Amino acid sequence: MGLLNALGDKFKKKSLFDDGVEYMKHDKYGKALKCFDKALKIDSNDVRSWVNRGLTLEKLNRHEEGLESFDKALKLDPEYIEAWYNKGLILGNHKMYKEALKHHDKALEIDPEYSKAWFGKGVVLTNLGKHEEGLESFDKALKLDPKDITVWFIKAITLKKIGKYHEALNCFDKALELDPNLEAAKKAKEELLSSMQNELP
């Protein structure tokens, strides 16, 4: 019976985790949180559930609790790269840039080819006003994942900010090549073309 119960719990935990992820995809964060909490009652050492719980709590504006969930995940597995990266993103969103940078650097220490962390690091560096260093990080991310639309778009925004308009246009074009329906890129490209036109003598 013990083995059957253990298998049953394992199946139930996976089902709850999958349901939670599905709810997150549809912005149903309250329901997602209940799923991750139930999964953690079955297995409080489930690192993935702690990480997703942290992301869900952040979406519910429960910032401190979200960070605590990431800390629990990292206590269970200090090498869990998704926890370092996601906690870094959230710290950056709350303008805690130096702490965020440490988390992205830690993720890259674990895996230097983890493109998401290069992107996260680039965002933090640009927010710190270190645009050239940020662009270098974006380039590293794109070398590892050339089809990441978000990186092309944010790289274009950064280039526009520092007056490198032609390079920015190329990046907007690359983003739109990958997703022709990306409205944010269409709008930003139109605005850039308009301001370039206005600057002509």
Closest listed residue to residue 133, CA positions, set 158, 166, 152, 107: 158
The reported pLDDT for the residue numbered 135 is: 98
State how far the alpha carbon of 18 is from the alpha carbons of 6, 21, 33, 124, 192, in Å: 18, 5, 12, 31, 42
Question: Does residue 139 form part of some domain?
Answer: no
pLDDT value of residue 197: 83
Give the C-alpha separation, 28 to 147, whole Å.
Answer: 28
Q: Is residue 162 part of a domain?
A: yes
116 occurs within a structural domain: no
Q: What is the CATH number of the domain that holds 162?
A: 1.25.40
pLDDT per position as a tens digit, 116-170 = 999 999 999 999 999 999 999 999 999 999 999 999 999 999 999 999 999 999 9
- For the stretch 100-131, pLDDT in tens is 999 999 999 999 999 999 999 999 999 999 99
Q: Is the residue at 107 inside a domain?
A: no
Domain count, the chain: 1
pLDDT at position 8 = 60
Query: What pLDDT score does 195 carry?
Result: 86
Q: Is there a domain that residue 187 lies in?
A: yes
Q: Is 85 within a domain? A: no
Q: Residue 161 belongs to what domain range?
A: 147-201
User: Stretch 83-98: mean pLDDT, rounded?
Assistant: 96
Q: What is the pLDDT of residues 1-22, one digit of tens each?
A: 344 455 566 778 888 999 999 9
Q: Does 169 reside within a domain?
A: yes
Region 175-189: mean pLDDT is: 95
CA distance 152 to 143: 11
**Domain assignment present for 179:** yes
